[in-house]
Amino acid sequence: MKILTPLFTILFATLIAINSFAQSPAASPALATSPAAAVSATGGQPNPQEMMKQMMEMSKLNENHKLLGDMNGNWNYTIKFWMNPDPNAPPQQSKGTATRKSVMGGRYFEMDVSGKMQMPGEDGKMKDIQFKGMAIEGYDNAKKKFVASWIDNMGTGIQSSEGTYDPATKTFTYNMEMEPMPGMKQQVRELLKVTDKDHMMLEWYENRGGQEKKTMEIAYTRAGKK
């Protein structure tokens, strides 16, 4: 049995609700300029035609989806971590690969990441750990924001973030709240600067005691480029 798509499910539920009310003249589609316009002025009842029209509008691709699509492809990356409490200590470094592709007709973008990280083992000594991660990114037309989620094999949570884009600096800015340990909520700001079509730089800032601290940096280079 196929799972109903969210759009079909919403429309189906709306039509059921409409049938439970007495019908009244629908508002003219020419007057519909916002979600509120999908409700007739005379009886406060949903106008299914207008709701369908607005839902279809919300599903359309625009220049924001193209911005994300321009980053599709295969990438090599170098990552730096600043985890040592000593500010003079050099960052940990490792390398890996990332693949970005469009899904759902270009409405979302999936990124698969693979690499190795130096982590302390049970004996306290540092050793290489295979790292796997996956992101889903998109642009939410209703929220008018970029949205993203992230999972990896180093935890069991799902990180969710929302962001904006500055065309002057070609930089995406995402904000999120993390809870790596129970009760230890932390605000994070992530910057992704698209240097050119073959290079990107991600910077990760954590709010610690009211002050931001850069704890991670990832330099991406498109595979086959320098």
Confidence of residue 174 (pLDDT cuts 50, 70, 90): very high
The stretch 88-112 carries a mean pLDDT of 95
Are the C-beta atoms of 152 and 131 separated by less than 8 Å? yes
Confidence (pTM): 0.78
Which range scores top for mean pLDDT: 9-13, 182-186, 206-210, 216-220? 216-220
Token pair 């035609």 is found at 49
Distance CA(193)–CA(157), nearest Å, equals: 26
The widest CA-to-CA distance across the chain, in whole angstroms, is: 74
